[in-house]
Amino acid sequence: MDQPAPPAADWRAQPHVVVERDGVRYTLLGTAHVSRASVDAVREAIASGDFDAVAVELDEQRLRAISDPGSLADLDLVKVLREGKTPLFAANLALASYQRRLAEQLGIEPGAELKAAVDDARARALPVRLIDRDVGLTLRRAMQGLGWWQRAKLGGGILAGLVVDEEVAEHDIEKLKQGDMLQASFSEFAEQTPALYEALIAERDRYMAARLRETPAGAREVLAVVGAGHLDGLARHLREEQAAPGGIAAALETVKPKSRLPVMELSIAAFLLGGFAWGFASGGFDVGADLLAYWVLWTGGLGALGCLLAGGHPLSILGAFVASPFTPLHPALASGTVSAVIEAWVRKPTHADFMALREDVNTWRGWWRNRVARVLVNFFLTSLGTAIGVWTGGARMLARLFG
């Protein structure tokens, strides 16, 4: 005889906070991004009919990523390179790789409860509000609060996340059950870096509270599905924040513009031009020509070597050699960008490359086989080779001038 199905667990048994403000009652449902119980609780809460609007801890980009993995194939890779978004693209790939490992290890897609919230709310014709800040803005604001050494450490961590294919540690899984996907992805570094924690968690609590206050007209019972780690901060800002929500969101979406005075570029340009001028003036044509040759050969040679190690096309290698000596003078002349754009143009990635990207970046061979991944390798190794060349070439110039 068939046994009756056990009754569904009451969603109210899950962590939640209720906040009433301005005639609206917000029910903040804290979820674990790797829990089937959270998926069930979200679906039960929406099915209850108690809510007339649903808010979700997602932005448009993350919703598209979990709803349509094939959307990656629509990416304009050359545009990403030209707009200087390559590090952000790599960070998103690292996040996707981390999520894939979690899915394989736990048998559930991270963020499944967020996707269920959106799907079920739309199926019931409930207004859906995506309240999280764009992940790109969050990472850019995080980076602007870091020094160059901290940025280098974070970059190294992102690269490690792209190439390491080991199981996620148990303590990281426990953090994820209690917290947030972005926090868990960069947890070790975030704990040691207040600026990163501020952008990844504290700012987003305030941002999501502001977006929640922009409730759709007529909504009086709002269910907000968020990571459990956001409950306390989100509830506090909902209760206490007095500034206009639009102004708060706008301020937290602002990224400080780079200084109009490129001090570093001007300093390097002054050093180079001054060194060449001094060489020609004090040592004649031979000394000046030697200094110029040192610079071109060291920067161009090592930039081209990096591109060669990345499996670059001959035209990409040539582009790296030509651009590297000029790279310190202006960001638009960055050798990594130049060589990567040429690589993407000559060996245009196919739809299949984009579709296989998340899997291919988890093996060393895949990085060189996949044309999208190889463009990233090209960018990073060419940039690294040029950076080594700049310091080495500059040191040789100093030795020649004062030796």
Which of these ranges, 160-174, 318-332, 351-365, has the smallest mean pLDDT? 160-174
Q: Between the ranges 33-42, 338-347, 392-401, where is the mean pLDDT highest?
A: 338-347
Instruction: Check if the beta carbon of residue 340 is closer than 8 Å to that of residue 334.
Output: no
The confidence score (pLDDT) of residue 211 equals: 93
Q: Does the pLDDT of residue 100 top 70, yes or no?
A: no
DSSP code of residue 22: T
The position carrying tokens 């109210």 is 12
Pair 31, 42: CB distance under 8 Å: yes
Mean pLDDT of 360-379: 84
Rounded to an integer, the average pLDDT of 244-260 is 82
- Between 129 and 280, the more confident residue is 129
**pLDDT for position 231:** 87
Q: Strands 24-31 and 16-21, how do they pair?
A: antiparallel
Q: Cα torsion for 56, 57, 62, 66, to the nearest 10°?
A: -60
Could you tell me the pLDDT band of residue 6, with boundaries at 50, 70 and 90? very low
120-140 average pLDDT score: 89
In this prediction the pTM is: 0.69
Q: Would you say residue 70 has pLDDT above 90?
A: no
Look at residue 130 in the predicted model and tell me its pLDDT: 94
> Euclidean distance between the first and final Cα of the chain, in Å?
95
Tell me the percentage of the chain whose pLDDT exceeds 70.
Answer: 69
Position 330, amino acid: H
Count of C-beta atoms within a 10 Å radius of residue 385: 27
The average pLDDT across 286-299 equals 79
Query: Is the model more confident about 350 or about 338?
Result: 338
Hey, which residues does 221 pair with through a beta bridge?
A: 25
| Residues 208, 230: Cα–Cα separation, whole Å | 9
pLDDT at 238: 93
> Which residue matches tokens 């060189």?
368
| Across 14-28, 260-274, 307-321, least confident range | 260-274
DSSP conformation letters of 145-196: TS-HHHHHHHHHHHHHHHH---PPPHHHHHHHHHS-HHHHHTHHHHHH-HHH
**209-225 tens-digit pLDDT:** 999 998 777 789 999 99
pLDDT, greater one: 389 or 110? 389
pLDDT for the residue numbered 101: 65
User: Which of 136-145, 190-199, 240-249, 352-361 shows the lowest per-residue confidence on average (mean pLDDT)?
Assistant: 190-199
pLDDT of residue 148: 60
Average pLDDT value for the chain: 78
Most confident range, picked from 71-75, 128-132, 190-194: 128-132
pLDDT tens-digit map of 103-122: 666 666 767 888 899 999 99
